[in-house]
Structure 1
Amino acid sequence: MHDWKLPWDGACRCGQVKIRVSAPPIITGACHCTGCQRMSASAFSLSVAIPAEGFAVIAGEPVIGGLHGATRHYFCAHCLSWMFTRPEGMDFFVNLRTTMLDGDLPAKLAPFVETFTAEKLAFAAIGAKHSFPALPPMEAWAELMQEYAAWVDR
């Protein structure tokens, strides 16, 4: 079993919104969809899925941004950093932008899956173990999460 050395702390760019992770990650990924490209101003967004009960905002008040739909994207109201997402119908986890974590954690949480590769920019190569042209089918996630747990223990 991987020793995650929890809890992890993190913050937005200006530090007004702070977060704490107290549960091991479920899976890591990169999303190449045009929505993530536009919200991150980059070729993709990096994320780490954290069980909802293991994620907390410990300072500040994030605001909803993005499309303001059923999937809620949370940002710092001051610096406008895109911090985390609560996907529609999946309240059991929080999709945290990996780069919000302090120290060397972002470098240690390489993407295991990449999604929406049908929309990816041609130069964006990240080396994820699994690639999908859109989202993986719902029935594939349990196996991917089990495989991720073994992958991080390699």
Structure 2
Amino acid sequence: MKEDGRVTEGSCRCGQVRMKLKGKPALTMACHCTGCQKMTASAFSLSAFYPFENFEVSGLEPVIGGLHGDLDHYCCPHCLSWLFTRAERMGPFVNVRPTMFENARSFIPFIESQTAEKLSWATTPAVHSFERFPPPDSYPALITEFAASGFAD
């Protein structure tokens, strides 16, 4: 992924965990699963995938919240804001919550997942929809299409 010099900063709600992103996201998405609905107290969660080396955390050390196991959801230890997710199956990527960053409006979801659990009135501008998660082998093509789409500009 080509580095464009962009730096985006953000924090948890209380400001004690600070984060920094370098470059553009590899992919943006909305997840409609009931787990994300419960963790966000909303209709879906928003995500942006970044190469892990383009992500920095400072301040308080995030703690694991939400489910413990297959996916590690990291939260501020003070205000408990859900900040990012890491999982071995995600490979070299971190999945950040765009609403924690200064330019949250620019993270438009390119794909939506778990639409089988979607609230009937919830809509997004996503180009691709998946009843569950996209098949793992579809991510390279989705990332390539996202880069050419202008969604990250």
- TM normalised by structure 1 equals 0.92
Which of 122, 126, 139 is the matching residue for 1:141? 139
Cα separation, 1, equivalents of 2:21 and 2:114: 27
Deviations 1:82-114 (A, max 9, x none): 010002322300000010101xx2111100000
Cα separation, 2, equivalents of 1:7 and 1:126: 26
2:41 corresponds to: 41
* Cα contact 1:23–1:51 (8 A) shared by 2: no
Cα separation, 1, equivalents of 2:113 and 2:43: 12
* Cα contact 2:5–2:22 (8 A) shared by 1: no
2:119 corresponds to: 121
2:73 corresponds to: 73
Quickly say closer, same or farther: Cα 1:91–1:59, change in 2 above 3 A. Answer: farther
1:107 corresponds to: 105
Quickly say closer, same or farther: Cα 1:108–1:67, change in 2 above 3 A. Answer: same
Question: What's the offset of the Cα at 1:4?
Answer: 5.5
Cα separation, 2, equivalents of 1:111 and 1:87: 20
- TM normalised by structure 2 equals 0.93
Cα separation, 2, equivalents of 1:128 and 1:72: 25
Deviations 1:1-54 (A, max 9, x none): x99652111000110100011232100000000110001110000010010000
Please provide the CA RMSD for this pair. Answer: 1.7
Cα separation, 1, equivalents of 2:72 and 2:88: 7
Letter of the structure 1 residue corresponding to residue 136 of structure 2: M
* Structure 2 SS opposite 1:21: strand
1:22 corresponds to: 22
Question: What's the offset of the Cα at 1:143?
Answer: 0.5
Question: What's the offset of the Cα at 1:55?
Answer: 0.5
% identical aligned pairs: 50
Cα separation, 1, equivalents of 2:16 and 2:91: 25
Quickly say closer, same or farther: Cα 1:52–1:125, change in 2 above 3 A. Answer: same
Aligned residues: 151
* Cα contact 1:17–1:58 (8 A) shared by 2: yes
* Cα contact 1:113–1:128 (8 A) shared by 2: yes
Superposition misfits of 4+ residues, deviation over 4 angstroms: 2-5
Question: What's the offset of the Cα at 1:67?
Answer: 1.1
